[in-house]
């Protein structure tokens, strides 16, 4: 998972969520030049990139790459609808 989020509380929450879900992440500073971001995403080939509305424009479009904008209203509704529906009973 690529993580293109400015240093913030949201970044820490996203990091913890990925780790708790058993995933791995590639932290990408949105201040990097566009060519560096494109190289890192091309090299790591994440299936999903987490970003905020502020940083999403820094993520280049690529085939098979899904962009999840954390502070987007639609994303928040989709995340909120899954709360309390864990399959492992915890």
Question: Quick one: average pLDDT of 72-86?
Answer: 69
Q: Return the CATH number of 2-81, one of 3.40.720.10, 3.30.70.120, 3.40.50.1980, 3.40.50.980.
A: 3.40.50.980
Average pLDDT over residues 20-49: 94
Does the predicted TM-score (pTM) go above 0.95? Answer: no
Query: What pLDDT sits at residue 90?
Result: 54
Query: Domain locations in the chain?
Result: 2-81
* Tens of pLDDT, residues 35-73: 999 999 999 999 999 999 999 999 998 888 899 898 888
Query: Mind giving me the DSSP string for the chain?
Result: -EEE--SSHHHHHHHHHHHHTT---EE--TTS-HHHHHHHHHHH--SEEEE-TTTGGGSPP-TT-EEEETT-HHHHHHHHHTTT--TT--
Q: How far apart are CA 14 and CA 19, in angstroms?
A: 9
Check pLDDT > 60 for residue 86. no
> What pLDDT does 70 receive?
84
38, 61 Cβ separation under 8 angstroms: no
């Amino acid at each position: 998972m690529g993580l293109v989020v400015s240093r913030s509380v949201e970044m820490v929450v996203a990091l913890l969520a990925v780790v708790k879900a058993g995933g791995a992440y590639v932290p990408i500073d949105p201040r990097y030049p566009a060519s560096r971001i494109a190289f890192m995403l091309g090299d790591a080939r994440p299936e999903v990139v987490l970003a905020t509305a502020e940083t999403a424009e820094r993520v280049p479009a690529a085939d098979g790459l899904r962009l999840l904008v954390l502070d987007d209203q639609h994303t928040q509704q989709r995340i909120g609808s899954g709360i309390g529906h864990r399959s492992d009973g915890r």
